Structure 1
Amino acid sequence: MKKITSLLLTFLSLSAVAQINVGPKEWVTVKNKEFDKEKLEELRATETIFVYQNSDKENLETFKKTLNEAWDYTPLKFVSYDEFVEGEWNEDEHSFFSINGLHKVKISSSGTVTEKTYLNLLLYMFDGGEKEVFARVNLFPTAETYRKASEFAEDDINELARYAYEESEFRNWNLAYLKNALQTIDKYISKGQNRWLFTSENTSEVKKLKKEVLYVTEEFLIETNRYNMKDSKPASKEELFSKYPYKIKVVTQKELDEMVVNAKEPIYYIQYIKANTDQFINVINGESGDIIYAEYTGMAHKLKSKDLKKLAKVISKA
């Protein structure tokens, strides 16, 4: 029984982005290889330690109940960051859901250096001291969080880890999305299947948006200036939705959380994630967690009306 003595964020000079990737690689640029069935059984035999943020303490019992209901593959144990760092965890008994990250450094042929920082929620365990990855969920930091994380990535990893849990803010770290993300991962690994991070797809369920309301949150409307990495005033709803002819409604994140947590029938919402210049747009069934529409765009700087026009076109043809 080997104890794990150090569990901190890992920052590597590699290239990858994701919204939800289910597969046995942490940083992925090509399609996933298949899961090793023995590894999945080893994962199933563990207790999964979920490390929550300080901000989750206010409604911790609801947080635990919601994620426990979404996750069946292993028993979950919820711990704070301090408990995570100070705890004694064993390789053959524990797996983890915790915030990990990537600091990407790219040098062009002309010598120009470009640095980007990504943060994600990772499902993993250890085998002989080596990290075995099963899934990752890309997190969408606020502009302030992104700036500070980028600074820490170059300096003290320990301080960055503590900042990620105690002060950072993510636009998709909420009950609705975490519930649905865990549902998605649970379904795929239970079947031994993987999901590629760059997936662009839609299911037949998307046709329901011809009649059903599509919910978006107020956070969805906030833009981040690509030059100074600061959040700017919300985008014009009228302009953004001008090319989407179906029902759409803006709600607060709290309202959406309540709808998703208590859903007894399908409800649909957009989850928008921006990771540097990579853009992911998902339409999610909040009851089941199923992703009914997924669109990836590289080199995008903000959400535009043409993105919703593309969704509307898919709906019209469904």
Structure 2
Amino acid sequence: MKLFKRSVTLLVFIIGFSSMAQISVSNKYIGGLSKLKKENLSKFKKTETIFVLSTIYDKLEYEAILKDIWTVTPYKIIPASEFSKVDYLSDKYSIVELGGHKVNSTMASGGSYYSLFTYIDVKMYNNKKINSKLSKLSPKKRKKKINGIFNDNEINIARILIFPKDEFIHTSMGYDMNSIFTTLYTEDVFFNYKPGFLRNYFQKINNLLKKGESYWLYRNDHTPGLRNLASKTLYIPSYMTIKYDSWRGKDSEENEENITKIFKKYNYKFEIIADDLLSDKIMNGENIYYLRYVRMNAERFLQVVNAKTGEILYRKYMSGFSYKLKSKHITELNSKIRKSTK
């Protein structure tokens, strides 16, 4: 498709269920934390990072997102329509781009289910190996094998999970890979893909990479800063008022009652806020705190974020057969806030 001059598909097919997190800085994203290798971090810091992101925002908007918060490397924003990965086969570059994979799994009963995983990856490539393998192939074989060669030689740096909307999940079941990627790059198909949300995600990754720290959000913990919620308002993005019906496989309309019900035992101040307004507050550098929620199939990730710094004050990972956020999860957050003030 014309949108992608790149001849490489980033979709990777796997069998089974992947465990991921809203943000990971790690050598791999399945299983447990694999610390980022020092040589890879050193190599990354010497690159220019090429950002290739959704066209729902223009270059100026991405510049506003990254300005002042992406300092670990110099960077350049390239429109997807102008980007070809083979043009950046050099150790001078690292890449930030949208990615995903889908999984068709068979249950013991014989039935099957479909899962879609979507994310933003920060990565490098083993360019020496890629160039060596490509140089040995005829043009015909090169075209056929180039996808696998790139996928086999990725160097993982960091990943951000992006929460797909129900309609996109359903329509993607019948999409081929190129169509899925065209949609990822050209349509508004994610709940947490707003300028402010992206700013805090990239801010956190930047800070981790500058410190040389790995991070794995497939964990539950909190920081002392959580005590601030005892006196501050917790903002809840309006997309969290959408309730997912797993039986019908469909999202509801926004309904504040869905959130107020599960927050009944929350002892502190909270406010439901439109996603765009919350994004604007983050972009304006306001010192506020907000709840960040991602559901990736039956895996759920709940976090409390400092909008000014991008720091994650609380993280809760939930798995199982439920697709919902429940009152017990808010009760647990309530308890952690109370204990952090003592």
Asked whether the 8 Å contact 2:62–2:77 carries over to 1, the reply is no
- List per-residue Cα deviations over 1:54-77 (Å, max 9, x = no partner): 2112xx423312223221111221
Greater alpha carbon shift after TM alignment, 84-93 vs 221-230? 84-93
- The answer as to whether partners of 1:140 and 1:275 remain within 8 angstroms in 2 is yes
Q: CA shift at 1:192, angstroms?
A: 1.9
State the partner residue of 1:138: 161
Contact 1:49 1:97 in 2 (8 A): yes
Q: Which residue is equivalent to 1:42?
A: 43
> For 2:296, which of 257, 275, 293 is the aligned residue?
275
- Kindly indicate whether the alpha-carbon contact (under 8 Å) linking 2:103 and 2:115 is maintained by their aligned counterparts in 1: yes
Aligned Cα RMSD in Å?
Answer: 1.9
Percent identical among aligned pairs is: 27
Distance in 2, matches of 1:5 and 1:275, equals 27
Aligned to 2:30: 28
Query: SS where residue 91 of structure 1 aligns?
Result: coil
The aligned residue for residue 12 of structure 1 is 13
Contact 2:299–2:318 (8 Å) recurs in 1: yes
Q: Distance in 2 between matches of 1:44 and 1:253?
A: 33
TM-score, with normalisation over the residues of structure 1? 0.90
Pairwise CA distance, 1:168: 4.3
Stretches (4+) displaced over 4 A: none
Deviation per CA, 1:187-229: give whole Å up to 9, x if none: 2222222111302110010011000010011111111221232
Q: Residue in 1 aligned with 2:260?
A: 238
1:56 is aligned to 57
The letter for the 2-side match of 1:22 is V
Q: Distance in 1 between matches of 2:247 and 2:208?
A: 38
Kindly provide the CA deviation profile for residues 82-115 of structure 1, in whole angstroms up to 9, marking residues without a partner as x. Answer: 1124872223122111111122233334433332
Structure 1 residues 5 and 145: CA distance shift in structure 2, 3 A: closer
Instruction: Give matches, 1:145-224, under 5 Å.
Output: 145-152=168-175, 156-224=176-244
| Residues in 1 aligned to 2:230 and 2:182: alpha-carbon distance in whole angstroms | 45
Deviation per residue, 1:159-178 (Å, 9 max, x gap): 21111111241111111211
How big is each residue's C-alpha offset from its partner over 1:258-284, in whole Å with a ceiling of 9 and x where there is no partner?
A: 2111225x3100001111011110000
2:79 maps to 1:77: no
Report how far residue 142 of structure 1 moved.
Answer: 0.8
SS at match of 1:186: helix
Q: Structure 2: which amino acid aligns with 1:138?
A: L
User: Structure 2: which amino acid aligns with 1:34?
Assistant: K
CA contact (8 A) 1:9 1:158 kept: no
| Candidates 326, 329, 334, aligned match of 1:307 | 329
The code of the aligned residue for 1:192 comes to: G
Structure of greater Rg: 2
The structural deviation recorded for 1:123 is 0.5
Does the 8 A contact of 1:216 with 1:249 survive in 2?
yes
Where does the alignment leave 5 or more consecutive residues of structure 1 unmatched? Answer: none
How far apart, CA to CA, are the structure 1 residues paired with 2:241 and 2:333?
A: 17
Q: Distance in 2 between matches of 1:258 and 1:308?
A: 25
2:265 partner letter: K
Distance 1:110 1:249 in 2: 44
**SS across alignment from 1:151:** coil
TM-score for both structures, normalised by structure 2: 0.84
Q: Answer whether contact 1:21 1:194 (CA < 8 A) is retained.
A: yes
SS of alignment partner, residue 56 of structure 1: coil
- Structure 2 residues without counterparts, runs of 5 or longer: 131-152
One-letter amino acid of the structure 2 residue matched with residue 24 of structure 1: N
Contact 1:8–1:85, Cα closer than 8 Å, also in 2? no
Which amino acid in 1 is paired with 2:62? F
| 1:307 to partner: Cα distance | 1.8
Q: CA deviation at 1:235?
A: 4.8
CA deviation vs aligned residue, 1:227-258 (integer Å, no higher than 9, x gap): 23222132514313211120101111121112
Q: Tell me which residue corresponds to 2:137.
A: none
CA contact (8 A) 1:222 1:232 kept: yes
* Cα separation, 1, equivalents of 2:319 and 2:86: 40
SS of equivalent residue, structure 1 residue 246: coil
Distance 1:86 1:24 in 2: 21
Match of 1:119 in 2: 118
